[in-house]
Structure 1
Amino acid sequence: MLLNGINHIAVISNDAVTLADFYRKVFDAQVGPTRDHGPGETMTNIRIGPGTELNVFVIEGNAEAQRQTPMWGRGRIDHLGLAAASQDAFDTIRDRLIESGAGDGKVNDFGAAFSMFFRDPDGLEGEVLIVHK
């Protein structure tokens, strides 16, 4: 392969501070500074894994983060699939998602992987997966 994964995913948020706090508490993400990114626009980098970030944009007057519709009707990027580093990490994330109210803890068995879904503070659906060894 010519690629080595995903560098970043850009998302629009209503509140980068709340979103960053969620990813820090649940996933041990590292949050970078918030900086201006143009008139009425800021960007915050949230490192969610080795070499992988969420680039979170807050844009005055932009209501896209409020637009949440059923799965497969949410636009070009429907949800995020995050890879847990280990079974222990998967279990810890599951507990934190339940504690934060972002997920119900239901684990799906998709054959090659276990999966659980959550919603971040902006309503974006995410999925955490652990591949069976």
Structure 2
Amino acid sequence: MLLDGVNHVALISADVDRLGRFYAEVFDAEVGPTRPHGEHGEETMTVIRIGPHTELNVFVIPGNTEPDRQTPMWGRGRLDHLGLQAASPEAFTTIRQRLIDTGAADGVVNDFGSVRSMFFRDPDGLEGEVLVAQGS
């Protein structure tokens, strides 16, 4: 395989500080500085490192209401949800408990044969899924 996971996902958020805290507290993510972005300097971009070569590029764009628009699955636009790979079964267990503790997930684990997963919803309402290989 030529790919080894996700490099980045670009998101629009209304509150990058809240989003950054969530990913730092649950996933031990590293939240970078917020910088001006775009032609007029009104929008900002913050990089949230969620893995050794994977990031969330979070944009805050004044007046953009897309972060408020959350509809049922497969109706949320091009980006429906994030699938995040847990580094190990132990990491999956830690993440699962943190998601439960923050109220972001009910803790239900799905068995898809080769992987186990659980779904969560981040503070912006974006659906996420954490996966780990079975027997790893």
Compute the TM-score of the two structures, normalised by the length of structure 1. 0.96
Matched, 1:8 2:8: yes
Distance (Å, rounded) in 2 between the aligned partners of 1:54 and 1:131: 23
- Following superposition of structure 1 onto structure 2, how do residues 52-131 of structure 1 map, counting pairs within 5 Å? 52-131=54-133
1:14-48 deviation per Cα after TM superposition (whole angstroms, max 9, x unaligned): 10000000000000001110011033200000000
Distance (Å, rounded) in 2 between the aligned partners of 1:64 and 1:26: 24
Moved runs in structure 1, 4+ residues, more than 2 A?
A: 1-6
Aligned amino acid, residue 7 of structure 1:
N
Distance (Å, rounded) in 1 between the aligned partners of 2:110 and 2:3: 29
Give the direction of change, closer, same or farther, for the CA distance of 1:3–1:115 in structure 2 (3 Å limit): closer
CA RMSD of superposed structures (Å): 1.0
Distance (Å, rounded) in 2 between the aligned partners of 1:9 and 1:69: 19
Q: How far off is 1:76 after superposition?
A: 1.1
Distance (Å, rounded) in 1 between the aligned partners of 2:4 and 2:96: 27
Aligned amino acid, residue 104 of structure 1:
D
For residue 57 of structure 1, give the secondary structure of its aligned residue in structure 2: strand
Compute the TM-score of the two structures, normalised by the length of structure 2. 0.94
Aligned amino acid, residue 85 of structure 2:
A
Aligned amino acid, residue 80 of structure 2:
D
Aligned residues: 133
